[in-house]
């Protein structure tokens, strides 16, 4: 019997779970930072958008909180949450693909690994989406590809910018060539956004962004931003090292390394991501700048689904 796939392992994101933290006696309602071992109150950690106040370690962030922290209050309207993957190939490894889908859907409470919505950032209407790494490692199958394609198409139709926040292990191999086709499909839709609407696309890379996602739309942003110390690349360091037979540079495939080599535009702390994107979009669209006080603040409103009252 084969072992767990890499995205099912507790260490898949190189962020220990509470059970695997340095101190196994972490109290309930607290999380120990895997970087500095600081004991963090869960509610305070959530209010800090899952960033350690002591060392700045960026914890994985669920897509709902990600988009609520990124967009203006009360502007989010969810799309395409009804799309559900099908096992067209009857794929079976250590267990059926249908069983993997059902397990992830039950655990996460979502139909697949991408969350898309309409919203606004600093008063600029946008189409925005975010990967959920908890769902099969954020892998991109037909549903994820369809959701991202629709996001670009809505942005083209509305003539508004698009934003995608990536956190993915790449193409979903359980769907074979159908998953690989999503690379070309999403890039074609992105091309229409630029050619027909002339709107900018902001790509945000978080830990990790790899495989077919990194090899397609994630690295095609007009502006490419990344969170600190994120793993970004196509193949993993071990595979590359074994292929070329050479030691890799220190920090290879981190966001800091990519910034030094001109692959991304900036590394942005999570707390500054909203203001950074807001300023950039207003500059790109020729809109007047807003002072910091001009940002919409307050308690995030629940996300509404498209078509709901």
pLDDT of residue 239: 87
* C-beta contacts of 105-112 below 8 A and 24+ residues apart: 105/135, 107/134, 108/132, 108/134, 108/135, 110/81, 110/135, 111/81, 111/82, 111/83, 111/84, 111/85, 111/143, 112/83, 112/84, 112/85, 112/141, 112/143, 112/144, 112/147
Average pLDDT, the chain: 88
Q: How many alpha carbons fall within 13 Å on the CB side of residue 116?
A: 24
For residues 94 and 142, state if they share a domain: yes
End-to-end CA distance of the chain: 49
For residues 97 and 171, state if they share a domain: yes
For residues 167 and 262, state if they share a domain: yes
pLDDT of residue 241: 87
pLDDT of residue 71: 96
Query: Is pLDDT at 135 greater than 50 in this prediction?
Result: yes
Task: Tell me what the mean pLDDT of segment 262-270 comes to.
Answer: 97
Q: Which domain holds residue 12?
A: 1-59
Among 59, 89, 107, the domain boundary falls at 59
Quote the pTM value: 0.86
Q: Is 65 helix (H, G, I), strand (E, B) or coil?
A: helix
- Band (pLDDT 50/70/90 cuts) for residue 21 is very low
Strand duo 162-168 + 124-131: pairing: parallel
For residues 113 and 228, state if they share a domain: yes
Q: How many alpha carbons fall within 13 Å on the CB side of residue 207?
A: 23
For residues 67 and 50, state if they share a domain: no
Query: Is pLDDT at 14 greater than 60 in this prediction?
Result: no
Among 59, 74, 107, the domain boundary falls at 59
For residues 79 and 90, state if they share a domain: yes
Tell me the pLDDT tens digit for each residue of 140-185: 999 999 999 999 999 999 999 999 999 999 999 999 999 999 999 9
For residues 151 and 6, state if they share a domain: no
Which residue is it, tokens 């934003």? 163
For residues 67 and 36, state if they share a domain: no
For residues 50 and 37, state if they share a domain: yes
d(Cα 68, Cα 60) in Å, to the nearest integer? 15
- Band (pLDDT 50/70/90 cuts) for residue 23 is low
Query: Is pLDDT at 6 greater than 70 in this prediction?
Result: no
Tokens of 235: 């193949």
Query: Is pLDDT at 308 greater than 70 in this prediction?
Result: no
Among 14, 39, 59, the domain boundary falls at 59
Cβ-based neighbours of 305, under 8 Å, separated by 6 or more: 77, 78, 79, 81
Q: Is 86 helix (H, G, I), strand (E, B) or coil?
A: coil
For residues 30 and 156, state if they share a domain: no
Domain count, the chain: 2
What CATH code is carried by the domain that includes residue 189? Answer: 3.90.226.10
pLDDT of residue 27: 80
For residues 37 and 114, state if they share a domain: no
For residues 117 and 240, state if they share a domain: yes
């Amino acid at each position: 019997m084969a072992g767990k796939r890499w995205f099912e392992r507790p260490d898949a994101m190189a962020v220990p779970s509470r059970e695997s933290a340095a101190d196994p006696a972490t109290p309930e309602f607290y999380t120990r930072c895997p970087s500095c071992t600081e004991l963090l109150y869960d509610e305070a950690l959530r209010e800090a958008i899952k960033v350690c106040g002591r060392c700045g370690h960026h914890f994985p962030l669920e897509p709902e909180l990600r988009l609520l922290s990124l967009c203006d209050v009360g502007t989010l309207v969810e799309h395409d949450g009804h799309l559900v993957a099908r096992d067209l190939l009857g794929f079976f490894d250590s267990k059926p693909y249908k069983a993997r889908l059902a397990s992830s859907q039950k655990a996460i409470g979502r139909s697949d690994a991408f969350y898309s919505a309409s919203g606004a950032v600093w008063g600029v209407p946008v189409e925005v989406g975010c990967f959920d790494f908890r769902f099969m490692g954020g892998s991109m199958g037909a549903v994820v590809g369809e959701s991202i394609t629709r996001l670009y198409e809505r942005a083209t139709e509305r003539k508004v910018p698009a934003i995608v926040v990536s956190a993915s292990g790449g193409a979903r191999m359980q769907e074979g060539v159908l998953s690989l086709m999503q690379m070309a499909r999403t890039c074609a839709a992105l091309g229409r956004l630029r050619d027909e609407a002339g709107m900018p696309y902001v790509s945000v890379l978080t830990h990790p962004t790899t495989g077919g996602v990194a090899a397609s739309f994630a690295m095609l942003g007009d502006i490419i931003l990344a969170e600190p110390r994120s793993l970004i690349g196509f193949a993993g360091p071990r595979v590359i090292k074994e292929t070329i037979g050479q030691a890799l540079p220190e920090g290879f495939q981190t966001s800091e390394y990519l910034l030094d080599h001109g692959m991304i535009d900036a590394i942005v702390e999570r707390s500054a991501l909203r203001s950074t994107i807001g300023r950039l979009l207003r500059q790109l669209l020729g809109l007047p700048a807003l002072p910091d006080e001009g940002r919409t603040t307050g308690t995030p409103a629940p996300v509404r689904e498209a078509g709901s009252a």
